Amino acid sequence: MRTGCLVVTPERAAQVAEELGVGQFVAHALEQTPKKVMVVPIPTDVRNLVVVPADGTEDDPGKYRKRIDEAVAALRGLAVKDAVWCLNEMPAPESGGPADAYWKTRHALGALSAALYRYDEHKSKPSPDRGVARVAVLAEPGTRTAVRRAVGEGNALDAGMSLARDLANAPANVCTPQYLADAASDLAELANVTVEVLEEAQMAELGMGAFLSVTRGSDTPAKLVVARYQGGGEGDAPFVLVGKGVTFDTGGISLKPGAAMDEMKFDMCGAASVAGALRAAIDANLPINVVAILAAAENMPSGKASRPGDIVSTMSGQTVEILNTDAEGRLLLCDALSFARRYEPRTVIDVATLTGACVIALGAHASALYANDEELGSQLAAAGRVTADRAWPMPLWDDYQEQLKSNFADMANIGGRPAGSITAACFLSRFADGLRWAHLDVAGTAYRSGARKGATGRPVPLLFQYLLDRADEAASAP
Ligand code: BES
Ligand code: MN
Ligand code: ZN
């Protein structure tokens, strides 16, 4: 076999090396750092071995995925165009994890697409390094159907994540509410998809005073974008995904400090992720109905901007005292949640880079997960676990609601410093009465800061998996 690289377990490496007549050489190399991922160049038709030892990979999907990510990083470091992936032999967790060929292949694809993603839209000279171009997955006899399915669904997820990352990485002078509306409208080219864009005047008619208060200071009109995918039956209740799409968050009159303010172009990651999840569902042809609602607006200070102390009325009829114009995400989302009711949803999941407090609580490893429905909450947590796109459950106890008391309106839009991610979720919960609703605060997970600054595409894997699992249920129902 002629290939740039084989990605293999140590056992397989030894066997292959023996067959290629370089057994001694490889055995010696493998003794050096037996627990690390290692590249062994060999003078044969197979030019390199990337050797990937199991080291806790059987413990949990997160550890398994981490190791796969390391294997991909090693592969990426080689200047090879093609490779054969033989890692479906690696030990993996039996329960709720990548025990079988389907899951191993999904993680291989997931790691590859994450590592090979580039955003050089705005570089005058795109990076010449495109990485490995073709990876073949070696499927054991009896696993071919599962592996083929994993490749199909893995590619659908890749398309969705790339869309989410491209939208989120685009700067705020490019990625405006109109740009998000246009990106969603592009999806209407695909089968069974329709897109509708509501303008500010229509939102005013619906009574969306909270939503409109956010965009008041901006010269760029807000949009409420609704993209619908009808993969299921006419009468099937849809899964509704709602995304925070603040294309830039200055804080408004409650202006943010200057440091790292550029990162507030990522404040539309929620909207990008629901568009991405929808794209993945479309590409995978899921037999369910999905509605993605993108709440798109820019939060700017100006002579027209909302002031601290302003009181607005929401589509639900409840009034809100805006004590801090920087707590704008919940103002968009509360009206978007009320709007979602018209689709008589099976479930509603909103996704938002909602609070800095969420980053303090959970860092970059887990999204915060809130749900007013136990089944929905555990289904989302499970979807996050198997995809290694984890979400951790947080409380919505009534005790926290007290922090939202206002002297002048039905509620305030902030609850003070303690438990900031929770009080934000509690605010939203007041608009989700009677819905089966969940909220994902992705402020720490949707993008990275620092040297690797950029959108991660999370939580598209979790959302897509949740939808895929529901589609599987529908298929296996009597
Ligand atoms: N978009 C921010 C939340 C955020 C902060 C995301 C840092 C990622 C990193 C949100 O609109 C915001 O400003 N929230 C305020 C709420 C506060 C005023 C109650 C925050 O977290 O400081
Ligand atoms: Mn803000
Ligand atoms: Zn924000």
For 27-36, 207-216, 219-228, 421-430, which range has the lowest pLDDT when averaged over its residues?
Answer: 27-36
Instruction: Determine whether 474 is exposed, middle or buried from the number of CB atoms within 10 Å of its CB (0-12, 13-18, 19+).
Output: middle
The Å distance, Cα 229 to ligand 1 centre, comes to 31
Ligand 3 is an ion; its neighbours by CB within 5 Å are: 246, 249, 267, 329
Contacts of 184 (CB under 8 A, 6+ apart): 195, 197, 225, 227, 275, 292, 294
The Å distance, Cα 327 to ligand 1 centre, comes to 6
The Å distance, Cα 356 to ligand 1 centre, comes to 5
Token pair recorded at residue 397:
């106890």
- pLDDT of 206-224, one tens digit each? 999 999 999 999 999 999 9
Q: Which of 256, 307, 341, 448 is catalytic?
A: 256
To test the ligand 1 pocket, which listed residue (326, 362, 427) has its Cβ within 8 A of the most ligand atoms? 326
User: Atom 13, ligand 1: which residue's CA is nearest?
Assistant: 326
By the 8 A CB rule, do 172 and 261 touch?
A: no
Mean pLDDT value of segment 93-114: 90
Ligand of minimum distance to the alpha carbon of 263:
1
Does 128 score more than 90 pLDDT?
A: no
Of 211, 72, 76, 187, nearest to 130 (Cα)?
Answer: 76
53 residue type, one letter: P
- CA 356 – CA 348 distance, rounded (Å): 23
Does 430 score more than 80 pLDDT?
A: yes
Output the pLDDT for position 131.
85
The ligand 1 atom at the shortest distance from the C-alpha of residue 254 is 18
- Reported in sequence order, the residue ranges of 86-192 that DSSP labels E, i.e. its strands, are 134-137
Cis preceding-peptide flag for 459 (omega within 30 of 0): yes
- pLDDT of 369-408, one tens digit each? 999 999 999 999 999 999 999 999 999 999 999 999 999 9
- pLDDT of 243-263, one tens digit each? 999 999 999 999 999 999 999
- CA 320 – CA 309 distance, rounded (Å): 9
Output the pLDDT for position 96.
74
The Å distance, Cα 180 to ligand 1 centre, comes to 21
- CA 91 – CA 93 distance, rounded (Å): 7
User: Atom 16, ligand 1: which residue's CA is nearest?
Assistant: 327
CA Rg value for the chain: 24
The ligand 1 atom at the shortest distance from the C-alpha of residue 358 is 21
Ligand of minimum distance to the alpha carbon of 324:
1
To test the ligand 1 pocket, which listed residue (306, 355, 453) has its Cβ within 8 A of the most ligand atoms? 355
The ligand 1 atom at the shortest distance from the C-alpha of residue 420 is 19
Q: Which of 330, 385, 436, 470 is catalytic?
A: 330
Based on the residue annotation, tell me whether 330 is a catalytic residue of this protein. yes
The Å distance, Cα 24 to ligand 2 centre, comes to 60
Taken in order 211, 348, 244, 413, the sign of the CA dihedral is positive
**Domains (range + CATH), the chain:** 6-140 (3.40.220.10), 160-473 (3.40.630.10)
Of 439, 461, 464, nearest to 389 (Cα)?
Answer: 461
Based on the residue annotation, tell me whether 256 is a catalytic residue of this protein. yes
**Run of H or E residues at 164:** helix 144-169
- pLDDT of 332-357, one tens digit each? 999 999 999 999 999 999 999 999 99
The ligand 1 atom at the shortest distance from the C-alpha of residue 299 is 11
Does 457 score more than 90 pLDDT?
A: yes
Measuring CA to CA, how many Å separate 115 from each of 31, 50, 95, 111?
A: 28, 16, 27, 6
Does 130 score more than 80 pLDDT?
A: no
Q: In whole angstroms, what separates CA 349 from the centre of its chain? A: 13
* CB-based pocket (< 6 A), ligand 1: 249, 267, 324, 326-329, 353-357, 359, 414, 420, 443
C-beta neighbour count of 306 within 10 angstroms: 24
The Å distance, Cα 42 to ligand 3 centre, comes to 52
- pLDDT of 85-94, one tens digit each? 999 999 999 8
